[in-house]
Structure 1
Amino acid sequence: MLIAHELAGVRVLVAHEDGFQKAYLSAVLAAAGAILVDPSAAGDAALTGPPPLDAAVVSQIVQATDGHRLIDAAARGALAVLVVHSASALPLPAVGLLRSLAVPYAAFQVVEAIRDMLGHRHDQRLRA
């Protein structure tokens, strides 16, 4: 599946403790046209102020460490959050803009999940 330009201009933070997975996810998102945001530059403003981010892709470990803020932001519709986790872990329930995806996942699945969540957020704003 072709993913080029599907996320053009979308600001995404990637946080994963595994360097290979982080590089893979970053490459996939960049190929889809996303703007990668440095985690240190995003800081708390990503979850509280005017959003410098549209989405975050995080590992299950990162989500468990800082999960409440991410889950709250996703539940409020402020931020699309995709949690990637091991195949043996239970998936997170889809709440608001929170989704989870088990390893192994394909590049198009990551892009499709973010695109769908952001489309859902856009639809919610139109209804408001």
Structure 2
Amino acid sequence: MPKSMRTIEVDDEVFAYLQSRSEPLVDTPNDVLRRELLNSGKPTGDGTGGRRAGALKPLIDAGLVAAGDTLRHHQSRLKRTHEATITADGWIELPDGQVFPRPSPALQEQTGNAINGWSQYTHVRSGSRLEDLRDKLAQRQS
């Protein structure tokens, strides 16, 4: 028997929060709320309480980056530098605690502009762009 579903209304700020924690075309708002509020969901086996692996997890698994490593983007014209940290499950954590499964939404949150995080974030320890590290991994796998 299917679970009973209820309709709720949320404001734009709450909806934006749900979007920032969801995988487009995969998660429903209910999935996000269930994960966030009930700490349940599909286990990923990485100790994250059910959060799926982020886009940087394959780079971690390959040893190209590590949990706790810093990502940096410098906007020279505006003289601003943005930093973020890679989490153990491959997500990107901003200094204010927001987390994102992929680089581009994380960097967009920091800059306020749609921006390709793969090409614009630099992995500080290696000095390489995330895009270059992703290409390196693809070469290893082919």
More helix per residue: 1
Taking structure 2 as the reference length, the TM-score comes to 0.25
Taking structure 1 as the reference length, the TM-score comes to 0.27
Structure of greater Rg: 2
Higher relative contact order (CA 8 A, sep 6+): 1
